[in-house]
Amino acid sequence: MLNGYSVPFLGTGETTGMKDRAIKTALAVWLLALCAVLPAQDAKPTADKWEAEIRKFEEGDQKSPPGEGANAFIGSSSIRMWKLGSSFPNHSCLNRGFGGSEMADSARYVDRIVLPAKPKVIVLYAGDNDIANKKTPTQVRDDYRIFRDKVQGALPETQIVLIGLKPSPSRWKLREAALEANRLFQAEVMAGKNQAFVDVWPAMLGEDGMPKPELFLKDNLHMTDAGYKIWNELIEPHLIGK
């Protein structure tokens, strides 16, 4: 008897070899039966890689609540590294960038780290990492739809400013997928309301059609101040003043 389950007993008249084989067979049958009747153990949920960072935003807002009606920026590292205070001194801006994130992450957390501030404008840059992680342009566009629907469901008059994917040298081999994502973004924005699409791609290319090297840091992915200067000029017309 093992854990309440009986293992068949073999008679003593059998040879030792036959006994061994029979015992192994009986044990295998017993184990299969045991697995069938025991309750399945739930797999442990995958840890949320962004939860700690999202909570920091929430805790900061509890200590010092952001003013309503500002311009909120959300997305991946291009947002996180953006020096919004010096870039837009005449505008009140809230930075909610978390590096390495994808479009689906912005969609998932926008209601926790942006919508409570009731911004009049939300600037979004995401999708760059998605394409690098082998998501299709259609998947990225669909995740943007989730983001947009969340925002418009809670703040229907808020303007969403969607920045198109940039031409990073380190991801130049992915340019066709990035350009297709931008085309899908633009079509989605044009078909809706309270949205704007800002195409930064052309302004970041040189006369040779390649990304301007001076716009990028040594990693050929993140931008220098010169790169952000281009973004500042393209984005500022969409922001509201203080």
What is the distance between the alpha carbons of residues 199 and 182, in angstroms, rounded to a whole number?
8
Contact between 71 and 239 (Cβ < 8 Å) = yes
What tokens were used for 59? 């805790």
Contact between 140 and 181 (Cβ < 8 Å) = yes
Contact between 107 and 150 (Cβ < 8 Å) = yes
Q: Which fold has domain 51-238?
A: Rossmann fold (3.40.50)
Asked if pLDDT for residue 225 goes beyond 90, the answer is: yes
Q: How many beta carbons lie within 10 A of that of residue 150, not counting itself?
A: 18
Which tens digits make up the pLDDT trace of 163-210?
Answer: 999 999 999 999 999 999 999 999 999 999 999 999 999 999 999 999
* pTM across the whole model: 0.80
